[in-house]
Structure 1
Amino acid sequence: MDSIRMRRGAFSAALVLAVTLSTAALAQKKYDTGATDTEIKIGNIMPYSGPASSYSVIGKTEAAYFNKINAEGGINGRKINFISYDDGYSPPKTVEQARKLVESDEVLFIFNSLGTPPNSAIHKYMNTKKVPQLFVATGATKWNDAKEFPWTMGWQPNYQSEAHIYAKYILQNMPNAKIAVLYQNDDYGKDYVKGLKDGLGAKAASMIVAEESYETTEPTIDSHILKLKASGADVFFDASIPKFAAQAIKKIAEIEWKPTHFLNNVSSSIGATIKPAGMEASQGIISSAYVKDPTDPQWKNTDDLKAWNAFLDKYYPEANRTDANVMYGYAVSQSLVQVLKQCGDDLTRANIMKQAANIKNATVGGLLPGVQINTSPTDFAPISQLQLMRFKGDTWELFGDVISGDVSG
C-alpha cells in the first residue's frame, strides 16, 4: 500500500513538474503578428518592373535563400514565409504594397525593400506602426537614426561614407581635378553629392565645375553627359542606378570624353551595368566594394564562392553569376537569418530590432575579407567599410586597403 502511495506521489510530483516546465516553455515563447510555432512571415518590396528592375535579382536571390533555409528545417523549427511584391520603383506603389503587407498579409516585419525614394515613402508609416523596416536595400545615411526612427535600419555602407572615400582618393591623387557630377534627382543621388562635397571640404566649390541631375522617368541621359563634357571636366562622378550608369558609360565612349570615371558601388555589377555598357567602354572605371565580385578569379576557390555556387546550383540555377546583386542578396539574407536565430523563441518586433542592434564583428559569406558587421542600440549602420576597385579587362581589381568612411545619420 505504501509503495502504491509512493508511486502515486512520485507520479503527481512528475505531473506537476511536467506542467510547470510546459508552462515555463510556453511562457518563454513570445510572438507578435506574423510569427507562430511553425512560421515567420516576412514582407519585401522590390522593383520587379520599371527603371530599377535590374535590382529585382536581389528579391529572387532572397526567395531562393529562404527556400534553402526552409528545406534545411527552417529557423528554430519555423519556416519562412517570404512575401515579395513589385512596386516598380514608384514610391506611391511602395506605400500601397507596404500597407498590404502590414495590414492585410500581417507580416512580422519588412526586410530589405529596395530604393531610397521607395523606403523614404514608408519610413514614417513603418515607425508609427512599430513594424521593423529591417536592412533596407539602400545606403541613404538617414537609415542610421536610432533615436528618431528606431524601427528602421540599413545594411550596406552609406552613400555619404562611400563618396567620402572617393573624395579622399581624388584629393590625394588628383588635387587639381575638375569634377563633373551626375546624380539622380532624389534622396539617393543627393546623399552621394553631399558626401562628395563634404569629403572635398573647402575645395568642393572650386573642384566641382558642373552638376547635372536626371529623373528616373527620362528615357536617356545623353544630353546630360554632353553638358558635363562641355564643362571641361577631367573627373566624372556618377551617382546613378544601373540603367543610367550603363547609358553614361556608353555615351562617354561614343563622344570620346576620357575623364577618370567614379561609379557608385550600387551600379558596379558587371552583369547589370558593365556588360550592357560594353567591356571596352568600361576600362579604368573606379568604384568600391564590400561584397566579393563573383567574376574576380581570386575568389574562385574560396569556401565562400564554393558555397555560393552550390546554393545557386540547387535553389537559383538561372541566376546571372556575373551579377554582384546576386551576391548582395545572398549576404544580406544570411545576416537576417543570424538575427532571427538570435531571437530564439522571442519573435516580437521589439526583440527583432534589439537583436539587429546587437551584432558584434560578424561576417557572412560573400563579404570581402576585413569587412565586418557591427551595430549597437545607437548605431544602425551595420557595414561602414569599403575597398576601392578599378575595372580592368573583364573584371574588377581591388586596390588599396579596406577603408572606413563612417558617417553617422
Structure 2
Amino acid sequence: MSFVARRLAAFSTAIILLVIGGNTHAQKEYDIGATDAEIKIGQTVPFSGPYSVYASIGKTEAAYLKMINDQGGINGRKITLIQYDDAYLPPKAVEQVRKLVEGDEVLFMFQLIGTATNAAVQKYLNSRKVPQLLTGTGASRFTDPKNYPWTLAFNPNFKSEARIYAEYILANHPDAKIAVLYQNDDVGRDYVAGLKGGLGEKANSMIVGEASYEIDDPTVDSQVVKLKSTGADLLFDASTPKFAAQTIRKLADIEWAPVHILEMNASAISATLKPAGLGLSKGIISTSYSKDPSDPQWKDDPGVKAYFFFMAKYYPDGDKLNTLNVNAYSAAELLVHILRQCGDNLTRENVMRQATSIKDYIPSLALPGTAVSTSGTDYRINKQMQMMRFNGERWELFGPIIEDTGPVR
C-alpha cells in the first residue's frame, strides 16, 4: 500500500471513530417519565383546606409551564405537570405522591407546598431515588444532602433567614428585648434556632419571652398578650399568613407597638397585610430575595415587565402583586433552567446533578447583586437577601445585600 493510500485509510478510520464517538456522546438517556416528546413531573398543592391561600402557587407554576410548552417546550419536549390536591394534609400528600410516582410514573416531584407535607414524603422519595425538587418550604431538613440527597428546597432556609434577621437586630437594635412568636412545628423551631444561633452569646439576655401556637388554633391572641407582658420591645414573628394577620390586629388592639419583624413567607401584602389592615401593618420589617412588582423602582425592569406580560396572558385571574405568585414564577423559571441544562440526559440522577451544580445563575426577578449557586454540599438556593420595610402601601428595600454564611443546617 502506497504512502498516500495508507494516509487516506488512516484518515477514513479517524473520521469513522469520530462519528461513532460523537453519536455515543449524543446518545439520549431517559428514566421513567421522560421521552423524546415529553417530560412528566408531579406536584401536590393545597387547593383546598386551611392553607388554600397557597393554591395560587400551583396555578402560577402550571401557567408558566404552559407558556414554555407554547414556546416549544424544553429541548423539543413538552412538559406535562400532573397536579393533585393534598389539602395540606400529610396523609393525603403521601397518598397523592405515591400515585404520582407509582401510577403516573413521573420523572420527579416539583415544588410540593408546605413543610409537613414535604416531610411526610421525604423518606419515601429518597428511598426510591426520585428527586424532590425545589420544595416549597425552607425547613433545614430539606437542605441536607448527607441524609436526603434527593431533596432540594427552593425557599430560603428558615435558619439562614433567621440568622439574617439576627444580624440586622445586632446592628440596629443591639439592646432590644425580644419576644418570639412561632408555629410549633419544624418551621417555627427552625426560625427560633436560627435566630438564637445568629444572636450567639447574646441570645439568652436579649430574648425575654417565647410563645408558640398550633396550626389548628383558632387565634394567637392569648400568645400576643402573653408576649407583651414580658416587656419586650421587638417582636420576632415566625408565623404563617393567617396568624400573622391576627398578630398585627391584636398588637393594635392592645396598644403594643414593638419593632415587628415578620418572616418573609408571611409578608405577602394580599395574603397578610391587607387582611390585617395596611395602616396597621405600617413599619413591619421583613426581607426578600426578589423584586416586588408593586415597587415603582422596577416599573421599567425587563424581568418585571416579562412577569406582568406572563400574568396577563397565562394567569389573568391571578393577583400579579401577590409575592406568592412572584416566588412561584421564579421557581418555575429555575426548573426550566435546570431541565435545559439536562439536555438529552433526562435521568433522575442527572436532574439532581444539574440542580446541585448551579453556578451564578441570575433569575429574572432576582434582586441586583444576588445570584443562585448550589453544590453537592450546599443545597441552599436562596441565601442572599435584603431587608425591607412596609410603608403602608408597599415594601421598601433598604440596606445592603446580606448573605448567610452560617452552617448549611
Alignment TM-score > 0.5, same fold:
yes
For residues 204 and 364 of structure 1, what CA distance do their matches in structure 2 show?
Answer: 35
For residues 227 and 49 of structure 2, what CA distance do their matches in structure 1 show?
Answer: 26
For residues 137 and 34 of structure 2, what CA distance do their matches in structure 1 show?
Answer: 26
Contact 1:52 1:89 in 2 (8 A): yes
1:273-288 superposed matches below 5 A: 273-288=272-287
Tell me the SS of whatever aligns to 1:399: strand
Tell me the SS of whatever aligns to 1:153: strand
Distance change in 2, residues 1:80/1:180 (3 Å): same
Could you say which residue in structure 1 is the equivalent of 2:353?
354
- C-alpha displacement of 1:24: 3.6
After superposing the two structures, state which structure 1 stretch, 369-378 or 281-290, moved more.
Answer: 369-378
Unpaired stretches in structure 2, ≥5 consecutive residues: 1-11
Residues 251-293 of structure 1, C-alpha deviations (whole Å, 9 max, x = no match): 1112211010000011111111111111001010000000111
For residues 293 and 48 of structure 1, what CA distance do their matches in structure 2 show?
Answer: 25
Q: Does 1:122 align with 2:121?
A: yes
The one-letter code of the counterpart of 1:324 is T
For residues 25 and 315 of structure 1, what CA distance do their matches in structure 2 show?
Answer: 40
The one-letter code of the counterpart of 1:38 is A
1:48-197 superposed matches below 5 A: 48-197=47-196
For residues 43 and 402 of structure 1, what CA distance do their matches in structure 2 show?
Answer: 34
TM-score for both structures, normalised by structure 1: 0.93
Aligned length: 392
1:28-67 superposed matches below 5 A: 28-67=27-66
For residues 47 and 189 of structure 1, what CA distance do their matches in structure 2 show?
Answer: 20
Could you say which residue in structure 2 is the equivalent of 1:228?
227
Residues 195-245 of structure 1, C-alpha deviations (whole Å, 9 max, x = no match): 011111122112111111111111211111111112221111111111111
Tell me the SS of whatever aligns to 2:400: coil
For residues 254 and 94 of structure 1, what CA distance do their matches in structure 2 show?
Answer: 38
RMSD: 1.8
The one-letter code of the counterpart of 2:171 is Q
After superposing the two structures, state which structure 1 stretch, 332-341 or 202-211, moved more.
Answer: 202-211
Distance change in 2, residues 1:30/1:327 (3 Å): same
Could you say which residue in structure 1 is the equivalent of 2:326?
327
For residues 23 and 105 of structure 1, what CA distance do their matches in structure 2 show?
Answer: 34
Contact 1:358 1:377 in 2 (8 A): yes
The one-letter code of the counterpart of 1:234 is D
- C-alpha displacement of 1:123: 1.1
- C-alpha displacement of 1:346: 0.7
TM-score for both structures, normalised by structure 2: 0.93
Residues 4-34 of structure 1, C-alpha deviations (whole Å, 9 max, x = no match): xxxxxxxxx9xxx8xx879947971111111
Contact 1:157 1:386 in 2 (8 A): no
For residues 23 and 233 of structure 1, what CA distance do their matches in structure 2 show?
Answer: 68
Contact 1:51 1:243 in 2 (8 A): no
The one-letter code of the counterpart of 2:128 is K
- C-alpha displacement of 1:149: 1.1
Residues 168-211 of structure 1, C-alpha deviations (whole Å, 9 max, x = no match): 22122222211111111100110000001111112211211111
Contact 2:293 2:321 in 1 (8 A): yes
For residues 72 and 347 of structure 1, what CA distance do their matches in structure 2 show?
Answer: 20
The one-letter code of the counterpart of 2:253 is E
Tell me the SS of whatever aligns to 2:378: coil
Contact 1:40 1:108 in 2 (8 A): yes
Residues 60-114 of structure 1, C-alpha deviations (whole Å, 9 max, x = no match): 1100000000111110111111011221222121111111111111110001111
Q: Does 1:408 align with 2:408?
A: yes
Contact 2:385 2:402 in 1 (8 A): yes
Contact 1:49 1:86 in 2 (8 A): yes
For residues 388 and 358 of structure 1, what CA distance do their matches in structure 2 show?
Answer: 28
For residues 280 and 26 of structure 2, what CA distance do their matches in structure 1 show?
Answer: 62
Contact 1:52 1:242 in 2 (8 A): no
Could you say which residue in structure 1 is the equivalent of 2:6?
none
- C-alpha displacement of 1:50: 2.3
For residues 297 and 176 of structure 1, what CA distance do their matches in structure 2 show?
Answer: 35
Could you say which residue in structure 2 is the equivalent of 1:266?
265
